């Protein structure tokens, strides 16, 4: 392929599954590094900070550091600082990512008794990260009540599920539409497939969309979203990839590979 000057790479399902390197992924990353190809890892992972993600990948042998990683939490922090400065934010998330939410005021789940107290002290923004045990009925119902009172709704992503070593697990997108419909609101999404997320990644790389390539296992949020942004899309048949999802998608990937291990060959780095 000619004209590709940088690569955006999803992590979960592309490089790793349950944080274990997929076959050939480390070697492929090393070949991209040897070719001096700029790259950024773009992930909707909400359970770890950028530093923790980099450390975990390094232990698997990937030649990456924290500066090579853009996460949904860091993009969310940038959005909140720009659009809701000084807002009180209630974070509902499975994982500890406070270190990547610099400049954001996080408040606890406790709700004062009485409508007046709730009006004074309730959060201004409800922020949804990744789903997990924290997504209980009491927590979701409390978020619903805050939204009814006028709180804004921000979601780091709308992913329906992700693959673990034990199979698929439900994610935030399985809960968010019901909450939006019940509260009569629409969430602002700050991670993939948000155009702002891709803009941030391109700015980090210093290339226009026409010179960038996105590799992902999610045909909608990774690949087709990138293509709508003018980025070349590559779908890999690992992670959450399912033939039926591929077949019924709203568009066609520019390229399809069996795995990330095939990317250097696609780019001509043989």
176-188 pLDDT tens trace: 999 999 999 999 9
List, in order, residues 6 or more apart from 33 with CB less than 8 Å away: 63
**pLDDT for the residue 112:** 46
Of all residues in the chain, the percent with pLDDT exceeding 90 is 84
**pLDDT for the residue 119:** 55
**Confidence tier at 99 by pLDDT (50, 70, 90):** confident
| pLDDT tens column, 212-267 | 999 999 999 999 999 999 999 999 999 999 999 999 999 999 999 999 999 999 99
List, in order, residues 6 or more apart from 237 with CB less than 8 Å away: 217, 256, 257, 258, 259
Mean pLDDT, the chain, rounded, equals 92
Q: pTM for this one? A: 0.82
Q: Give the number of C-alpha atoms closer than 13 A to the C-alpha of residue 138, restricted to the C-beta side.
A: 5
**pLDDT for the residue 109:** 61
**pLDDT for the residue 95:** 85
Question: What DSSP letter does each residue of 112-159 carry, written as one string?
Answer: -SSHHHHHHHS-SEEEE---STT--HHHHHHHHHHHHTT-EEEES---
CA atoms of 212 and 169, how far apart (whole Å)? 30
| pLDDT tens column, 149-165 | 999 999 999 989 888 88
125 pLDDT above the threshold of 50:
yes
**pLDDT for the residue 205:** 96
> How confident is the model over 171-176, as a mean pLDDT?
95
- Do β-strands 188-189 and 152-155 pair in parallel, antiparallel, or remain unpaired? parallel
**Confidence tier at 117 by pLDDT (50, 70, 90):** very low
| pLDDT tens column, 43-52 | 988 989 999 9
Q: Give the number of C-alpha atoms closer than 13 A to the C-alpha of residue 51, restricted to the C-beta side.
A: 6
**pLDDT for the residue 165:** 84
**pLDDT for the residue 116:** 42
CA atoms of 4 and 209, how far apart (whole Å)? 10
198 pLDDT above the threshold of 90:
yes
């Amino acid at each position: 392929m000619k004209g590709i000057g940088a690569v955006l790479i999803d992590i979960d399902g592309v490089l790793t599954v349950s944080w274990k390197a997929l076959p050939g992924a480390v070697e492929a990353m090393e070949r991209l590094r040897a070719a001096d190809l700029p790259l950024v890892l773009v992930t909707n992972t909400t359970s770890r900070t950028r530093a923790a993600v980099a450390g975990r990948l390094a232990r698997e042998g990937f030649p990456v550091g924290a500066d090579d990683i853009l996460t949904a939490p860091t993009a969310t922090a940038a959005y909140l600082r720009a659009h809701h400065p000084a807002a009180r934010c209630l974070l509902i998330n499975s994982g500890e990512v406070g270190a990547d939410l610099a400049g954001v005021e996080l408040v606890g789940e406790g709700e004062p008794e009485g409508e007046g107290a709730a009006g004074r002290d309730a959060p201004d923004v409800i922020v949804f990260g990744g789903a997990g045990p924290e997504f209980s009925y009491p927590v979701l119902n409390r978020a619903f009540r805050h939204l009814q009172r006028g709180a804004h709704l921000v979601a780091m992503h709308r992913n329906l599920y992700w693959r673990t070593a034990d199979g698929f697990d439900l994610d935030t997108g399985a809960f968010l539409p019901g909450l939006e419909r019940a509260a009569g609101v629409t969430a602002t999404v700050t991670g993939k497939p948000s155009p702002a997320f891709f803009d941030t990644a391109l700015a980090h790389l210093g290339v226009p969309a026409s010179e960038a390539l996105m590799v992902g296992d999610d045909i909608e949020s990774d690949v087709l979203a990138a293509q709508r942004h003018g980025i070349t899309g590559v779908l890999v048949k690992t992670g959450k990839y399912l033939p039926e999802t591929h077949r019924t998608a709203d568009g066609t990937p520019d390229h399809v590979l069996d795995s990330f291990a095939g990317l250097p060959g696609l780019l001509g780095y043989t």
